[in-house]
Amino acid sequence: MPNSETHFGAPRSRVDGRLKVTGAAKYAGEFTAPDLAHGYVVSSAIAKGRITAIDTAAAEAAPGVLRVFTHENRPTTAWLNSSYRDEVAPPGKPFRPLYDAEVVYSGQPVALVVAESFEAARDAAALVRVTYEHAPHETNLRNVLAEAYVPPKERPGIDPPPNPRGDAAAAYAAAPIKVENGYHVAPEHHNPMEPHATTVVWEAGGKLTIHDKIQGAQNTQSYVTSVFSLPKKDVRVIAPFVGGAFGSGLRPQYQLFLAVMASLELKRSVRVVLTRDQMFTFGYRPDTIQTLALGADREGRLQAVMHEAIAGTSPFEDFQEVVVNWSGLAYHCDNVDLKYKLAKIDTYTPLDMRAPGAPLGMFALESGMDELAHALKIDPLELRLRNYAEMDQNTGRQFSSKELRAAYRLGAERFGWARRSHEPRSMREGRELIGWGMATGVWEAGMQQASARATLTAGGKLEVAIATADIGTGTYTILTQIAADALGLRMEDVTARIGDSALPTSPIEGGSWTAASAGSAVQAACYAVRETLLNYARRMENSPLANAGLDHVVFTAGHIALRSDPSRSVSFADAMRAGGVDRIEQEETTAPDKGNMAKFSPYTHAAVFAEVRVDEELGAVRVTRVVDAIAAGRIINPKTARSQIIGGVVFGIGMALTEESMLDHRLGRFMNHNIAEYHLPVNADIREIDVLFVDEEESKANPIGVKGLGEIGIVGTAAAIANAVFHATGKRIRELPITLDKLLD
Amino acid sequence: MPVDPAATGAAAASPAGRAPAMQHRITLTINGTRRQMEVAPWTTLLDLLREEMELTGTKKGCDHGQCGACTVLLNGQRINSCLALAVTKDGAEVLTVEGLAAADGTLHPMQAAFVEHDAFQCGYCTPGQICSAVGLLKEGHARSAEEIRELMSGNLCRCGAYPNIVAAIEQAMQQAGVAAR
Ligand code: FES
Ligand code: FES
């Protein structure tokens, strides 16, 4: 039935590449309007308390200043908490900027200065004087562990830990080999290179066109319409390019609220761009403290898994992510007890960050497995094979597909794992200790309901449209490939339109589900176009395709041709003429198959192998080689797919070695709030990253057999590196990042 | 009026009394076109490009010289334009990402290499990476992948496109007849 695929599976350069390398791609803070005013945010200096006075006189008197907004003069917005809840909000009361005098976290926006120029706004912002009444704050998760609680309300889409199975405590007590430890990964900030920004273009009559840094234009649209009580037709969100997000653009952030508020009040266009410092004043990867206990028999077969995590959340929302559940499905074990709790600290609500929860939980589990392998003197890869999970024991379902064994094998071969010597500190070159470590990665292969429109013109040009996003993932390109294949066109004849709230409904781009969701919807819409086209062709007088069904024809080079005799064909243009139309437009909606979802668990898997070199005297760690073997169903575009995995691995290297948002508990504030002190990996930190995709037949997770790649690359990476550091040095570091002080102890 | 850039760059440092900004006349050649303009003493070259000239190809990632997203070529040398006050660059020649391709739209070899090697994802660091790489080639210091990595480390890429960036630069270097490796 499908056309022969020329583009699906082929390494294609990005269709938006030219726009990006010439500087023509426009990001949220780069749209403009003749009447554009600039907003600059004033951030709170304390973590908790009240504003007792806010003096804006000097700022208002500064040249070029149009208005200073504070909680005292902000316009009225929606009353109900629910009006502020966006598509992916966790349970709780969403933060309302400039709502009242309360300060609930450090860096909270307390004023917006709007001026004729960016410099004037920034200058005047420094003149706003805020007087506070401090209240005692607590930002140290370790001090509130005793108050940890099971979230009373689940966050939609986030599974709580499964019920315990077997008797983990008894099995653990009886197990001959045990490891039990605490693990911690430092809080991290997403730090996309593009700071968050919103440009609101105001039109007389109050219509708004909003350019927002968001992973789903419709999430911004529904937030704005509900918070500001505006009709949908008056709010259009256009975000064609997003300068990285990694989860930071899932929820509308406060600059959006402030820009819209100011625009509506001033009746003119307003742009608000956050500074890099202010990028540390909203969501982050939560502080999560974990304990893990593994019990095994002498052959290394897991007898008991107990994993508990306590994560920090804000005073106002119960952020939740999946941290411990992975420990119940990554390996076979009949006695499992998993717990996930929250504790409140006085920061902003954490926010999903690339593979939310998974690299944290898998750092603990995969470190624990490495410790077990060492204790048993079993090769770490062999230990994983002995505990291979044939089904998802958390749910009792079969995996929709799982070629992790192949990933282990091919990854190990590529890496040369067989040459590894078991003992730590057994490999060195000069004063550098060399270590090899590995880990498993796992992530959901989700699909969401989505709608897409396909429009074919008589001239043979196809446009596909859906309100999803491309945050660097390659969405434009893969949708173009899928659409071109469906109608046998060249990619140059296809345009993908995304990033616009006026397009057919799509979920936010997140959860690694965009390829599956948007891709399936686009394919379905194109297939509907094909059907219409064939119907027209069949009805032509003396049609060579009179009796042909979809199975009997191919769509190629602007023609519908008989499979059995390609010389018998009808051109798209002739078919449309016969149908009396000059374009065919179809919209289709696709959703996960309920029957399959009830029976199968769709997951993506990875086998990560890492080599580190550790300077014995200085403690400096370099990751010299990573092989990441991925089982992710069908790969639409090996070129962009590889980039996705490389990006995830680089994130994992950052998590393992450098990234750490440090809280100054005295001030209740992240203190390294800039990218000189928050260490993102730089070019010199990254060496060879070898990505392999193993063949995996996937037919249940979604119609196009893909699994998504945005997140799997990070999941096992930090653990593999920590395991390699142990192998190099004999030091087991259970607190990431592995900075040199931890190795010099 | 003499201008002390050090005293006028920062947010809170505009003159007390806040009289309307004294504008300074400067001349810049931007992407081959000579332009005269009036700038405030505190306007950075980056903000001048982005806000006044609507050349938004040059990006702002930090405004503090920490990320390299704002890299442009100033008289052929790569600089962080967020750290340069426009008034101090009177008479200079500025080349931004918008000025790299040929007039007929043919991409600069570095741009083409970036597309071919998928040396970007979100694209936000890309103009800075490309300008930086063009400057790097001109400097002639980088002879190996190792050196490229080191000398490109002022340009952060959160998407982690580094291996592909290095591959793209190596290709462009070879095309330019500079030995890599
Ligand atoms: S914006 Fe200039 S270095 Fe970051
Ligand atoms: S391509 Fe996104 S930051 Fe480099």
Residue-level pLDDT at B17: 41
Domain boundaries defined on chain B: 24-99, 109-175
Whether residue A194 lies within 8 A of chain B, CB to CB, comes out as yes
Identify whether A711 is a catalytic site residue.
Answer: yes
Tokens 């992407």 label which residue? B31
> Is A12:A637 a contact under the CB 8 Å cutoff?
yes
CA proximity to A601, closest of A302, A400, A343: A400
Question: Helix, strand, or coil here: A329?
Answer: coil
Residue-level pLDDT at B177: 83
Nearest ligand 2 atom to the CA of A243 is 2
Residue-level pLDDT at B22: 83
Residue-level pLDDT at A636: 98
**Residue of B82, B131, B152 with the most ligand 1 atoms within 8 Å of its CB, for mutation:** B82
State which of A576, A591, A606 marks the end of a domain: A591
Atom 3 (ligand 1): residue with closest C-alpha? B65
Closest Cα in chain A, distance from residue B146 (Å): 8
Tokens 């998504």 label which residue? A708
**Percent of chain A, pLDDT > 90?**
99
Query: Residues lining ligand 1, judged by CB closer than 6 Å?
Result: B 60-63, 65-70, 80, 82
Q: Hey, which residues does A70 pair with through a beta bridge?
A: A111
- Angle ∠(A266,A270,A272) on CA atoms, nearest 5: 130
The CATH number for B109-175, chosen from 1.10.150.120, 3.30.750.24, 3.40.50.12140, 3.30.460.80, is 1.10.150.120
The pairs formed by B99-104 with CB atoms below 8 angstroms and a separation of 24 or more are: B99/B30, B99/B31, B99/B32, B100/A22, B100/B130, B100/B131, B100/B134, B101/A22
The response to whether residue B125 sits with its C-beta less than 6 Å from ligand 2 reads yes
Alpha-carbon separation of residue B145 from A674, B80, B169, B173 (angstroms) = 28, 23, 9, 11
Of the residues B48, B120, B132, B162, the best mutation for testing chain A's interface (the one with the most A CB atoms within 10 Å of its CB) is B162
Residue A450 has φ and ψ, to the nearest 5°, of -155, 155
Write the single-letter amino acid at A86: D
Is A21 within 8 Å of B12 when comparing Cβ atoms? no
What gap in Å lies between CA A700 and CA A677, rounded to an integer?
A: 45
What gap in Å lies between CA A234 and CA A205, rounded to an integer?
A: 9
Q: Hey, which residues does A132 pair with through a beta bridge?
A: A51
Write the single-letter amino acid at A700: K
> Is A318:A94 a contact under the CB 8 Å cutoff?
no
- Angle ∠(A140,A145,A148) on CA atoms, nearest 5: 120
Quick one: three-class SS letters along A582-620? CEEEEEEEECCCHHHHHHEECEEEEEEEEEEEEECCCCC
For residues B168-181, give the mean pLDDT.
81
Q: What is the CATH number of the domain that holds A521?
A: 3.30.365.10
| Same domain for A100 and A78 | yes
**Residue of B66, B96, B152, B157 with the most ligand 1 atoms within 8 Å of its CB, for mutation:** B66
Nearest ligand 2 atom to the CA of B121 is 1
| Same domain for A528 and A627 | no
| Same domain for A641 and A612 | yes
Whether residue B45 lies within 8 A of chain A, CB to CB, comes out as no
Closest Cα in chain A, distance from residue B88 (Å): 17
The pairs formed by A531-535 with CB atoms below 8 angstroms and a separation of 24 or more are: A532/A579, A532/A584, A532/A586, A533/A456, A533/A560, A533/A572, A533/A575, A533/A576, A533/A584, A534/A560, A534/A575, A535/A579
> Is A435:A612 a contact under the CB 8 Å cutoff?
yes
Residue B98 has φ and ψ, to the nearest 5°, of -70, -20
Is A683 within 8 Å of B66 when comparing Cβ atoms? no
* Cβ-Cβ contacts under 8 Å, A14 against chain B: 115, 118
Whether residue B95 lies within 8 A of chain A, CB to CB, comes out as no
Say which DSSP state A390 is in. S
CB pairs under 8 A between A and B: 192
Given B51, B111, B148, which is nearest A21 (Cβ)?
A: B111
| Same domain for A454 and A317 | no
Whether residue B162 lies within 8 A of chain A, CB to CB, comes out as yes
* Cβ-Cβ contacts under 8 Å, A24 against chain B: 57, 98
Q: Which two tokens stand for residue B125?
A: 């660091």
What gap in Å lies between CA A250 and CA A353, rounded to an integer?
A: 9
Whether residue A472 lies within 8 A of chain B, CB to CB, comes out as yes
Provide the chain B residues 48-67 that lie in CB contact (below 8 A) with chain A.
Answer: 50-51, 54-64, 66-67
Q: Reply yes or no: is the peptide bond before residue A737 cis, omega within 30 of 0.
A: yes
Residue-level pLDDT at A507: 93
What gap in Å lies between CA A63 and CA A713, rounded to an integer?
A: 50
Quick one: three-class SS letters along chain B? CCCCHHHHCCHHHCCCCCCCCCCEEEEEEECCEEEEEEECCCCEHHHHHHHHCCCCCCCCCCCCCCCCCCEEEECCEEEEHHHCEHHHHCCCEEECHHHCCCCCCCCCHHHHHHHHCCCCCCCCCHHHHHHHHHHHHHHCCCCCHHHHHHHCCCCCCCCCCHHHHHHHHHHHHHHCCCCCC
Whether residue A681 lies within 8 A of chain B, CB to CB, comes out as yes
Residue-level pLDDT at A229: 97
> Is A490:A515 a contact under the CB 8 Å cutoff?
no
The response to whether residue B161 sits with its C-beta less than 6 Å from ligand 2 reads yes
> Is A494:A420 a contact under the CB 8 Å cutoff?
no
pLDDT tens for B58-85 read 999 999 999 999 999 999 999 999 999 9
pLDDT tens for A475-505 read 999 999 999 999 999 999 999 999 999 999 9
> Is A266:A344 a contact under the CB 8 Å cutoff?
no
Is A472 within 8 Å of B63 when comparing Cβ atoms? no
Pairing mode of beta strands A462-465, A207-212: unpaired
Reported as half-sphere exposure (CB side, CA atoms, 13 A), residue A69 has a value of: 26
Residue A728 has φ and ψ, to the nearest 5°, of -70, -45
For the purposes of burial, counting CB atoms within 10 Å of the CB of A8, is it exposed (0-12), middle (13-18) or buried (19 or more)? Answer: buried
Q: How far is CA A498 from the centre of its chain?
A: 18
pLDDT tens for B143-159 read 999 999 999 999 999 99
> Is A200:A37 a contact under the CB 8 Å cutoff?
no
Closest Cα in chain A, distance from residue B181 (Å): 14
Given A61, A119, A242, which is nearest B40 (Cβ)?
A: A119
**Nearest residue in B to A279, CA atom:** B62
Question: Helix, strand, or coil here: A436?
Answer: strand
Residue-level pLDDT at B63: 98
Is B161 within 8 Å of A471 when comparing Cβ atoms? no
Contacts of A155 (CB under 8 A, 6+ apart): A90, A91, A318, A319, A320
State which of A539, A565, A591 marks the end of a domain: A591
Q: What is the DSSP string of A216-246?
A: -HHHHHHHHHHHTT--GGGEEEB-S--S--T
What gap in Å lies between CA A264 and CA A83, rounded to an integer?
A: 18
| Same domain for A179 and A317 | yes
| Same domain for A473 and A420 | no
What gap in Å lies between CA A342 and CA A179, rounded to an integer?
A: 25
Tokens 């234009």 label which residue? A217
Atom 4 (ligand 2): residue with closest C-alpha? B157
pLDDT at residue B6 greater than cutoff 50? no
Residue-level pLDDT at B9: 37
Tokens 């990402």 label which residue? B97
Residue A379 has φ and ψ, to the nearest 5°, of -60, 135
Largest CA distance in chain B: 58
CA proximity to A352, closest of A521, A156, A600: A156
| Same domain for A709 and A672 | yes
Nearest ligand 1 atom to the CA of B63 is 1
* Cβ-Cβ contacts under 8 Å, A190 against chain B: 158
* Cβ-Cβ contacts under 8 Å, A639 against chain B: 118
Q: Hey, which residues does B71 pair with through a beta bridge?
A: B80
Whether residue B100 lies within 8 A of chain A, CB to CB, comes out as yes
| Same domain for A262 and A296 | no
Q: What is the residue-averaged pLDDT of chain B?
A: 89
**Nearest residue in B to A192, CA atom:** B158
* Cβ-Cβ contacts under 8 Å, A686 against chain B: 149, 160, 162-163
Domain covering B24-99: architecture: Roll (3.10)
**Of residues A72, A588, A711, A735, which has the active-site annotation?**
A711
**Residue of B44, B48, B51, B67 with the most ligand 1 atoms within 8 Å of its CB, for mutation:** B67
Whether residue A63 lies within 8 A of chain B, CB to CB, comes out as yes
What strands, in cross-sheet order, belong to the sheet with A559-562? A553-556, A559-562, A569-571
Whether residue A647 lies within 8 A of chain B, CB to CB, comes out as yes
Q: Could you tell me the residue range of the domain that residue A470 belongs to?
A: 17-24+447-591
- Containing A257, the helix (H) or strand (E) segment is helix A254-266
Q: What is the residue-averaged pLDDT of chain A?
A: 97
> Is A300:A178 a contact under the CB 8 Å cutoff?
no
Ligand 1 centroid–CA B147 distance in Å is 22
Tokens 């803070």 label which residue? A29
A2 lies in some domain: no
Q: What is the CATH number of the domain that holds A56?
A: 3.90.1170.50
Helix axes A254-266, A217-227, angle to 10 degrees: 50
**Nearest residue in A to B43, CA atom:** A119
| Same domain for A720 and A634 | yes
Ligand nearest to the CA of B68: 1
pLDDT tens for B98-131 read 999 999 999 999 999 999 999 999 999 999 999 9
Ligand nearest to the CA of B82: 1
Is B123 within 8 Å of A643 when comparing Cβ atoms? no
Could you say which residues of chain A have pLDDT below 50? 1-2
pLDDT band at B97 (very low <50, low <70, confident <90, very high): very high
Question: Helix, strand, or coil here: A527?
Answer: helix
What gap in Å lies between CA B159 and CA A205, rounded to an integer?
A: 40
Q: Domain total for chain A? A: 3
What gap in Å lies between CA A140 and CA A145, rounded to an integer?
A: 9
Whether residue B101 lies within 8 A of chain A, CB to CB, comes out as yes
**Residue of B71, B130, B157, B164 with the most ligand 2 atoms within 8 Å of its CB, for mutation:** B157
Question: Helix, strand, or coil here: A491?
Answer: helix
| Same domain for A175 and A211 | no
Q: What is the DSSP string of A392-425?
A: ETTTTEEES---HHHHHHHHHHHHTGGG--SSTT
Is B121 within 8 Å of A243 when comparing Cβ atoms? no
Is B47 within 8 Å of A642 when comparing Cβ atoms? no
pLDDT band at B181 (very low <50, low <70, confident <90, very high): very low
Residue-level pLDDT at B178: 62
A11 lies in some domain: no
pLDDT tens for A377-431 read 999 999 999 999 999 999 999 999 999 999 999 999 999 999 999 999 999 999 9
Whether residue A21 lies within 8 A of chain B, CB to CB, comes out as yes
Quick one: three-class SS letters along A33-49? CCCCEEEEEEECCCCCE
Ligand nearest to the CA of B63: 1
Question: Helix, strand, or coil here: A631?
Answer: strand
**Nearest residue in B to A240, CA atom:** B122
